[in-house]
Chain A
């Protein structure tokens, strides 16, 4: 089943086109990361999909409806993780989650009881010790976890996260990734997230879309994207204290030969292009004016 279908989406502010003919398809159960430099239109895209912003032109279908006109029944099926600031400062996480959860009670079904049981939710995001503290007193990371809890309190079928881990420490990040995996696996939640963290995009998502200049310039798994940019791997080694680098599409035969031929080889290292390399290359290509838009990358068996 298709969760999101976008065709030729344009967004214009004044005389500036922020989105220029986006096509997006997301299947149910997928975890998709939207990457892109600042100002590429990530947040605008997410807000259009959330129904918080009306596009200039284009066809948008999210869970079968147009978010701009979809009703509250649709709203109950969609979760949004917002960047909180100072709202509900006097409330406790428990009171806020109970309050917001109550809106979802009429939308409970046997297959998907709503809201998410609050105690379980508090444990899930690791806020058990802070559940009765004032939200004002929470740390930045704790607030973000509360934001995530608020986003999933209605047990959404589709969850949007805009830069969910900005400001997380490594431990909080790891916990958050576990949470996303759990949501995806257990609740079959479709997840669309934006991030600046390439490592995170690679870990979390089954598919990555790179948005640059208001267009999708790449769409595929991290691996497929890397292969598209360069099929070469970099082999580095040292020989008698001297460093060598060789670039080759077939690293394994090269290394085998290298080792048989030369017993002096030390510090051997084989490096495939990382997602970061890929990302930077894609964005650089776009900025150099090379049209890479519309290319669909084949999934490569890995």
Chain B
């Protein structure tokens, strides 16, 4: 039976049978004392063990593990594939595409780049904090993005999975520690019900740092209980910009991919497209490509709340006489919105296309969203020339259409270097 925990030897929680979405697995039962013991154990034994691991060995084990999880035929994937789509509420093909997108971003080339930065990392307070990585709900494989920098800095880690999807992180950690046993004392991937103050208090008293993916309320709660030790990756949104120098039919395929991946639930999922070109060919192109992707990567079960929002968008657009691509709701929704303003959509692969008179309009349009923006897919030279101004608004990741959802390992999520997020220290160049 699949376990929801990957833990060092000597830590022995009681396991009980658990069920979620019709999936049965073995769930570890955590107590405050046991969590504290785990944290102390990782802090002491884990640091020592991590310090002995050569960088090359770490990188090799990392890449081998990635390869296993990118291979649908591997034993690990064969175990996870029947259950993970249901837990994540994605289709099997949608999950496959999402995994490939995230895992592909932290492969050898970009992991090596980050490792070189780790080697050159200097700070007044060099240390390897014990880090709790509290993961977002239902975006599979997100664990790899904060995990790699933590390991490269030789930080012992507790990966806390959301209770809605407790299986990927332990499976990944088990596979990694199998390939590099020296990691075993330094890593744990577990889950518990978040927000349980008495359960978490001893753990939080030991942890040096907590990286949290979650909404404002979750983050505020953590910050109140672990002051000055929380780094938050709050919810954010992304967009695309296309100038009239780009070819809409080519751009449309990439944009559709960035819209459809993870059923538009990621912070790098595109919610709106701005263009200085005629919006009609682009809108048609995106609608056609979303239709194709609905075959190749069918959407997961339709969330009624999201569907309610999409119906509102569709019907409001129809009432206003806007151009709405005639596609089934589950395929996606494309609306040409003449008003030059930005707002996130209701999800389910919904996108608004906004015509602009000039690129210069965009920073002003996005001003009220400063700090809530994550990525921008850019097509055409004059779109790329806007990067500095978009960076000032907090956009941390720029890519060509189709590549937005595959940030590499050095990505400054939220505009912050991954090492700074882990340690609180600024990166210095030697």
A and B assemble together: no
